[in-house]
Homo-oligomer: A and B are copies of this chain.
Amino acid sequence: MIKSHIITIGDEILSGHIADTNAKWLSEKLYSIGVNTSKRITISDDKKQIKKTLKLSINNSNIIIVTGGLGPTNDDITKKTLCEVYGSTLIENKESLDNISKIFKKRGLELTKKNIEQALVPDKCKVLNNEFGTAPGMAFYEDNTLLISLPGVPYEMKSLFEDKCISHIKQKFNLPYIYQKTIKTTGIGESWLSDIIKDWENEIEEGIKLAYLPSLGRVKLRLTAKGENIDELKKKIENQVKKVLPLIKKYVFGYDDDELEDVIGKILSKKNKTISVAESCSGGNVSKTITALPGSSNYFIGGIVAYSNEVKVDELKIGKELIERNGAVSKEVVEKMAEGIRKKFKSDIGLSTSGIAGPSGGTPEKPVGTVWIGYSDNKVTKSKKLNLTERRDLNITLTTVNLLNLLRLSLKGD
């Protein structure tokens, strides 16, 4: 089994002032191509420590990915340290210099000496040209080890890794095939889900690993198989998926990279239907989630954030008495909101939210976390009550996920 170490370099990570998102991303990518990360290490921009750590990793792993310490300032010492570790000297790399010049020209800035120095690379490395930034990536081959040094800026690191590194790794090492399939569910908690699929889980074929990955309002089931024959792996996993699907069909909204909002967007586009949203407690988050997707303007007409009761009355034509009699957080009001926005914006479907997001505003009858969500089309208007949490941020997200799922189920005719 090919083992990798990930080394991230940076004082700001060690002081906790920035999150090390690179290491997580790299772990996931490496895993997906069949490389196990056996260790992750974060150290400071200190030559002695970098050198010691690199040497230890070179002796104990097959692949080492180093990020950070390649900037133009004096703190950035990764390149010099790599020279010492590999007995290499710095030489100018034409391709990198051209790239740096191009970037500066585009920005309308003069090249400084420090910037030109970024085109110097160790003579023993293979240069990985960085189109999105001024620090080139570097690959060192020695004995059975491949060391790749990448800049710490996440989007530069990510495109370099995807475009240039994966092929290097696959060329050098004989990697097993990995086949993964993730079933994405919503509307059911982890323990209930595990109860439903208990018998199936106990009989999963050997060599297939199952992981439960819960997040807010959603649970992912990830199946993984490693082996020599990709077609066989695929068959094995798809067979397992086929067996479990009938048990959990209602909760499955998609697979792998599908998000709830993508799935909904596809159904709406296919059915040629439009939607609009009237939001109270979710404060714009439903609209924001839907419009985060490119192309959403094809089916999303618009929304109203009806935060004050006046807006509910004036814009959504909800009777004052209805609010007085039932409260703004009620089945009656949320259904009128969904109907009101649908008619006002002339969309096929209207959605709505009204609830007590907290931390204040709760009563014994309607505690913080009480939320109503509504749906209306030209045939039916309906709603659902949710009993969520005491935390405002969680309540806003969970309201959104639940409403999108209500829409999904309604579109499917459930």
User: Interface residues, chain A, CB within 8 Å of chain B?
Assistant: 12-21, 23-31, 36-44, 49, 211, 213, 222, 277, 279, 283-288, 290-292, 294-297, 300-308, 310-311, 315, 345-346, 358-360, 392-393, 396
Chain B residues whose C-beta falls within 8 Å of the C-beta of A13 in the assembled complex: 24, 27, 40
A305 and B307 contacting across the interface, CB-CB below 8 Å: no
Which one, B41, B213, B301, B304, contacts A310 given CB within 8 A?
A: B301
For the residues of A in contact with B, the DSSP-based class is: mixed
**Distance in Å: Cβ of A355 to nearest Cβ of chain B:** 12
Given contact pairs A283-B292, A302-B304, A302-B306, A15 touches B37 in the complex (Cβ within 8 A): yes
**Complex copy number for this chain:** 2
**Distance in Å: Cβ of A320 to nearest Cβ of chain B:** 16
B360 and A294 contacting across the interface, CB-CB below 8 Å: yes
Given contact pairs A16-B28, A283-B288, A301-B311, A41 touches B39 in the complex (Cβ within 8 A): yes
Give Cα distance in the complex from A41 to B39, angstroms.
7
B302 and A305 contacting across the interface, CB-CB below 8 Å: yes
B301 and A307 contacting across the interface, CB-CB below 8 Å: yes
Given contact pairs A211-B12, A284-B286, A291 touches B305 in the complex (Cβ within 8 A): yes
26 of the cross-chain contacts (CB-CB < 8 Å) are: A14-B27, A14-B37, A16-B24, A16-B37, A17-B222, A18-B213, A19-B24, A20-B20, A20-B23, A38-B43, A39-B41, A39-B49, A279-B284, A279-B287, A283-B291, A283-B292, A284-B288, A284-B305, A294-B392, A301-B307, A301-B310, A302-B304, A302-B311, A303-B305, A304-B305, A310-B346
Among A17, A28, A284, the most chain B Cβ lie within 10 Å of the Cβ of: A284
Chain B residues whose C-beta falls within 8 Å of the C-beta of A36 in the assembled complex: 14-15
